[in-house]
A and B are shown apart, each in its own frame.
Chain A
Amino acid sequence: MHADRTNRTLLIVLALLMLGAGLAAGAASLGGFGTATKNSTLMDNPTGHYFGANGAWLWPVIALAALIIGLLALRWLIALLFSTDRSGDLMIKSSTGAGRTTLVNRALTDAVVGEIEGYRGVDSAQARLIGDPDDPELVVRAVLEETADLTALRQRIETGALAHARQALGNMSLPAQLDLTITSRRSARVV
């Protein structure tokens, strides 16, 4: 998922911090906190004095906080670079409860793509399983030729390839997302 929600939240926090710091310092600079503050130096304020008086223990505490923030930033960076929303291989439950069947993720998505690309009027297709392997969602993207009967083709994908995928997983209510795009390119395939 590349931590999209975390990214947005932290970027909003950063924007608010920048705005807050800019407005507060701007107000101090323009005399919003009094002429004395406006004309005093940057270090000549209660915070500066507190740091001056308590630096012996304050800086090691700040260093410790920096260590925690650094570790969290490292975790965030790793999530950004390496996380994925794709499901792993799927366990198929048998009706008798005996035995165990594992369906390789790629086998299912390749079969879905193969079936959809076999329909007349489909230029190309992509499929992936996302989410928890126990509760996956099938996401399919199909590029349709504009000359095709688009509604009929949509229904064929829904009742054909997607229904077959649900059957294969033994889950007829498997959530599915179908993204259709249209191209003016004519397929060279003969079906």
Chain B
Amino acid sequence: MRLVNRVLAALLSLALLAAAVLLIATVVADRTSHHEGIVHWRAAYHWAQHNAWAAASIRVACGILILAGLVLLVAELKPARVSRLPADPAEAGADAIDTAYTRRGLAAAIRSAVSAVDGVRSNSVKVKRRTVKITATASAQDRTAARSLRDPITDAVRQRLSALKLRRTLSVSVRVAPRSH
């Protein structure tokens, strides 16, 4: 989100700058030579003088504004996805060091632990603030055989998480599907 915000902020600051320059140039042009300058504002003024609030174009513009404002507001207020999971400070080798595992690193470690379980063909891992979700595909096409992999996968993940010694214990959720034909 930070990168998206930087791009949006750059666009917004450029738009503000351009709007300010155009407005100043238009006011100066109007005051000095009574010409429109770069912006043909008389056409817009004429349009505003002849269109009512009830016009369909106004309603469409309002709908777009409300939708865009809502999307932007929700995106900005939504809590950021966790990027680092703190390690247990009790295991620290020195004071005042904020140690954490990156979310991607943790996902990679769990993915490889799951891959090492016999009978797992592929898997994907999602690490959230409090949970780890694993979706695995078994090598077998049989549903019962696939289901039997659930416990070994859960054990492998818990073992890997325990080796990492995180500050917060993450809950583990595993889904195993049989291989499709």
Are the chains A and B members of one assembly? yes
**Residue B38 at the A interface, CB < 8 A?**
no
Query: Smallest CB-CB separation from A174: which chain B residue?
Result: B96
Q: How far is the CA of A180 from the CA of B101 in the complex (A)?
A: 5
**Are B2 and A26 touching (Cβ within 8 A)?**
no
**Are A77 and B48 touching (Cβ within 8 A)?**
no
A residues touching B (Cβ–Cβ < 8 Å)?
Answer: 2-4, 6-8, 10-12, 14-23, 25-26, 28-31, 37-43, 59-60, 62-63, 66-67, 69-70, 72-74, 76-77, 80-81, 141, 143-144, 146, 150-151, 154-159, 162-163, 173-184
> Which residues of chain A have C-beta atoms less than 8 A from B31's C-beta?
59-60
**Are B65 and A159 touching (Cβ within 8 A)?**
no
Query: Smallest CB-CB separation from B45: which chain A residue?
Result: A43
B21 nearest CB across to chain A (Å): 6
**Are B101 and A63 touching (Cβ within 8 A)?**
no
Contact A173 to B95, CB < 8 A, known contacts A25-B62, A26-B63? yes
**Are A39 and B23 touching (Cβ within 8 A)?**
no
**Are A18 and B98 touching (Cβ within 8 A)?**
no
> Which residues of chain B have C-beta atoms less than 8 A from A178's C-beta?
97-100
Q: How far is the CA of A183 from the CA of B42 in the complex (A)?
A: 63
Contact A73 to B63, CB < 8 A, known contacts A66-B23, A180-B87? no
Please give the number of chain B residues whose Cβ is less than 8 angstroms from any Cβ of chain A in the complex. 68
Rank and list the top 9 A-B pairs by shortest CB-CB distance, nearest first: A70-B20, A181-B105, A22-B65, A18-B69, A19-B69, A158-B93, A22-B66, A155-B93, A26-B62
Question: Which one, A4, A73, A158, A182, contacts B16 given CB within 8 A?
Answer: A73
CB-contacts of B70-117 with A (<8 A): 70, 72-73, 76-77, 84, 87, 91-102, 104-106, 108-109, 111-112
**Are B97 and A42 touching (Cβ within 8 A)?**
no
A12 nearest CB across to chain B (Å): 5
> Which residues of chain A have C-beta atoms less than 8 A from B97's C-beta?
158, 162, 176-178
**Residue B5 at the A interface, CB < 8 A?**
yes
A-B contact pairs, 6 of them (CB 8 A): A63-B24, A162-B94, A176-B96, A177-B98, A178-B98, A182-B106
> Which residues of chain A have C-beta atoms less than 8 A from B55's C-beta?
29
**Residue B39 at the A interface, CB < 8 A?**
no
**Are A12 and B96 touching (Cβ within 8 A)?**
no
Contact A12 to B51, CB < 8 A, known contacts A22-B62, A156-B93, A177-B98? no
Question: Which one, B14, B24, B84, B109, contacts A77 given CB within 8 A?
Answer: B14
B78 nearest CB across to chain A (Å): 11
**Residue B43 at the A interface, CB < 8 A?**
no
**Are A154 and B91 touching (Cβ within 8 A)?**
yes
**Residue B133 at the A interface, CB < 8 A?**
no
Question: Which one, A21, A39, A62, A70, contacts B65 given CB within 8 A?
Answer: A21
**Are B94 and A158 touching (Cβ within 8 A)?**
yes
Q: How far is the CA of A163 from the CA of B96 in the complex (A)?
A: 11
A144 nearest CB across to chain B (Å): 8
Question: Which one, B13, B66, B112, contacts A19 given CB within 8 A?
Answer: B66
Contact A38 to B102, CB < 8 A, known contacts A19-B65, A66-B20, A67-B24? no
**Are A38 and B10 touching (Cβ within 8 A)?**
no
**Are B94 and A163 touching (Cβ within 8 A)?**
yes
A125 nearest CB across to chain B (Å): 13
> Which residues of chain B have C-beta atoms less than 8 A from A70's C-beta?
16-17, 19-21, 24
